[in-house]
Amino acid sequence: MAHTHHHHSLDDLSETQKRVHRILCSAQNPLSAYEVLDKMRGKGAVTPPTVYRSLDKLIEKGLAHRLESLNAYVACKHPHDHQDMAAFAICESCGLVKEFTDPHISERLSHWSDDHAFSAKKVTVEIRGLCEICAK
């Protein structure tokens, strides 16, 4: 039987959580919680706490990431195991964000964690700089 990642399913999300996920998915760039809230105003009012809770839930399920340095949220482009580290290259000029995973970086980090008996819950690597186009 094929192995399915159940924890990535959208089935057990509330309507609000699904809406937040759709908004993040269709956004070109990371969105702040307030930008998400803004885009949700269209159908049925939601309160900021509701949006924050929904975002937390999506992150918990591995469907979204929070970019600490931008204080913004992105939909996870490729649902991966939570063991996999998510890395983001953030262009400081045009705001483009590229998500990637790198097994080598993950490995080095998990070695460090093991050596220092540190139990890592989640790792988000953020690289800031200029994208190919802006660097020209």
Between CA 133 and CA 117 the distance in angstroms is: 41
Q: Where are the domains of the chain?
A: 7-75, 86-135
111-121 pLDDT per residue, tens: 999 999 998 87
CB atoms within 10 A of CB 78: 9
**Residue predicted with more confidence, 52 or 85:** 52
pLDDT (0 to 100) of residue 81: 55
Averaged pLDDT score across all residues of the chain:
86
Between CA 11 and CA 117 the distance in angstroms is: 36
CATH of the domain spanning 7-75, picked from 3.90.1150.10, 3.40.50.970, 1.10.10.10, 3.30.360.10? 1.10.10.10
Give me the CATH topology for the region 86-135. Answer: Dna Ligase; domain 1 (3.30.1490)
For residue 104, what pLDDT band results from cuts at 50, 70 and 90? Answer: confident
pLDDT over 90 (residue 5) = no
**Average of per-residue pLDDT across 52-72:** 92
pLDDT (0 to 100) of residue 6: 47
Least reliable range by pLDDT among 43-47, 90-94, 106-110, 127-131: 43-47
- Residues paired with residue 86 on neighbouring β-strands, in sequence order: 124
**Average of per-residue pLDDT across 53-60:** 94
